[in-house]
């Protein structure tokens, strides 16, 4: 018998249960989580504490937490091979976040573009939790000394902040406790844009359903959304660099490429000279073929909430066991009695 090979490191990642899970979450995150779970020791968390930084109806939140867990599993995350749990069940996230609130600097948080984009002109009305959100995210990752974090491109700045917090903590307390975590961002699928506006990312919080492909959309809804997706009158070019000034066209080609696991150049070569009427038909077929097994599996899992709750409970116990020694080490370094 050969000994199991050593994991390449430890992964932590998560998604907010704040609305429907969509194609951006799948291509930017969930799919890659499933692909990485055998090479790394992996924790995949439903970040319900992050979700309440904006108002969530308590009844809806419970369903959304289960929906997120179902989406992870339907995308291939196996709760036996990974640790799948929800954040609020492991108290160490909140405890470490408080310590990081005292390490992180106001100037650093003031530079966070996601906060600025989210609050717009309503900064004074935003919750304090939304402002310090990135400190909690750093706590999520560093509570397990995670070495790698697979995410979409929109999380890059938050991961840079995580490294700044780790470095400052290590310097301030004179101990090398935290690693400098690396982001893992894929070439294709890391930034899926709105179907209606190629300058905005596909997002759970967009009020228009027509901007995103939800993982629980049925085939007719998918076809309708793709048919109505914004494009331009030009045919597809032979190479992807010619899509630079055509954000909506580039996005649809990017979705096709990511779902088929090929490059945008390969998609352009295949469809060169074709109009978007033809391309959208091919894209619909690919989206329906790839997503319908996930949609069906999500529905099946969501019909069994007791199973999902058991998975989350087991996961929380395993996560707590990993978090405890790290938290003890941090508390000692800080000088808590
Ligand atoms: P969230 O819930 O916004 O998104 C979950 C994951 O999906 C990715 N993603 C996208 N990827 C490509 N195109 C898109 N349009 C798109 N929209 C979302 C995100 O990059 C993310 O990987 N702050 C995080 C959650 C979080 C977290 C963490 C992540 C909390 N703690 C620790 C990693 C590590 C967030 O709001 O993701």
- For the stretch 180-199, pLDDT in tens is 999 999 989 999 999 999 99
Q: Does ligand 1 lie within 6 Å of residue 138's CB atom?
A: no
First vs last Cα of the chain: how many Å apart? Answer: 47
192, 255 in Cβ contact below 8 A?
Answer: yes
- The minimum-distance atom of ligand 1 relative to the CA of 190 is 12
Q: Give me the residue label for tokens 């319900």.
A: 48
| Tokens of residue 1, six digits | 């018998």
Distance of CA 160 to the CA centre of its chain: 16
Answer yes or no: 168 catalytic. no
Q: Which of 13, 14, 31, 188 to mutate to test ligand 1, by most ligand atoms within 8 A of the CB atom? A: 14
The yes-or-no verdict on residue 55 having pLDDT over 50 is yes
164, 156 in Cβ contact below 8 A?
Answer: no
| Tokens of residue 154, six digits | 């929109």
Of 68, 58, 92, 91, which Cα lies nearest the Cα of 14?
68
Residue 4: which pLDDT band, with cuts at 50, 70 and 90?
A: low
Answer yes or no: 118 catalytic. yes
Q: Which of 12, 47, 90, 196 to mutate to test ligand 1, by most ligand atoms within 8 A of the CB atom? A: 47
Q: Tell me the average pLDDT of the chain.
A: 96
The yes-or-no verdict on residue 334 having pLDDT over 50 is yes
Q: Dihedral sign for Cα 255, 252, 295, 184, please.
A: positive
Q: Dihedral sign for Cα 207, 212, 216, 219, please.
A: positive
DSSP 8-state secondary structure symbol assigned to residue 209: G
Q: Cα of 235 to ligand 1 centre, how many Å?
A: 33
Over pLDDT 90: what percentage of the chain?
Answer: 96
290, 258 in Cβ contact below 8 A?
Answer: no
Q: How many angstroms separate the CA atoms of 229 and 227, rounded?
A: 6
Distance of CA 119 to the CA centre of its chain: 20
Q: How many angstroms separate the CA atoms of 326 and 316, rounded?
A: 16
**What are the beta bridge partners of residue 83?**
43
Answer yes or no: 280 catalytic. no
pLDDT at 3: 52
Predicted TM-score (pTM) of this structure: 0.97
Q: How many angstroms separate the CA atoms of 159 and 265, rounded?
A: 29
Q: Which residue's CA is the nearest one to ligand 1's atom 25?
A: 15
């Amino acid at each position: 018998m050969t000994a199991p090979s050593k994991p390449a490191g430890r992964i932590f990642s998560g998604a907010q249960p704040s609305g429907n899970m969509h194609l951006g979450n799948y291509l930017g995150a969930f799919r890659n989580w499933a692909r990485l779970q055998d090479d790394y020791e992996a924790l995949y968390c439903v970040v319900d504490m992050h979700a309440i930084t904006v108002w969530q109806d308590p009844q809806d939140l419970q369903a959304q937490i289960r929906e997120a867990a179902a989406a992870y599993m339907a995308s291939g995350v196996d709760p036996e091979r990974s640790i799948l749990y929800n954040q609020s069940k492991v108290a160490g996230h909140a405890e470490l976040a408080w310590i990081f609130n005292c390490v992180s600097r106001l100037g650093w948080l003031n530079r966070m573009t996601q906060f600025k984009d989210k609050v717009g002109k309503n900064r004074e009305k935003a919750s304090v939790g939304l402002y310090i959100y990135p400190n909690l995210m750093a706590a999520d990752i560093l509570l397990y000394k995670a070495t790698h974090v697979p995410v979409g491109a929109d999380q890059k700045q938050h991961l840079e902040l995580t490294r700044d917090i780790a470095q400052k903590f290590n310097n301030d307390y004179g101990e090398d406790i935290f690693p400098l975590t690396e982001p893992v961002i894929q070439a294709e699928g890391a930034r899926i844009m709105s179907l209606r506006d190629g300058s905005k990312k596909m997002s759970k919080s967009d009020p228009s359903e027509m901007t995103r492909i939800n993982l629980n959309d049925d085939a007719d809804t998918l076809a309708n959304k793709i048919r109505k997706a914004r494009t331009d009158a030009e045919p597809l070019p032979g190479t992807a660099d010619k899509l630079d000034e055509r954000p909506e066209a580039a996005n649809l080609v990017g979705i096709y490429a990511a779902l088929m696991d090929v490059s945008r150049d390969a998609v352009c070569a295949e469809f060169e000279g074709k109009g978007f009427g033809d391309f959208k038909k091919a894209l619909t077929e690919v989206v329906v073929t790839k997503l319908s097994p996930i949609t069906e599996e999500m529905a099946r899992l969501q019909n069994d909430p007791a199973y999902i709750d058991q998975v989350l409970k087991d996961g929380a116990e395993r996560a707590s066991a990993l978090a405890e020694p790290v938290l003890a080490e941090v508390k000692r370094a800080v000088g808590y009695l």
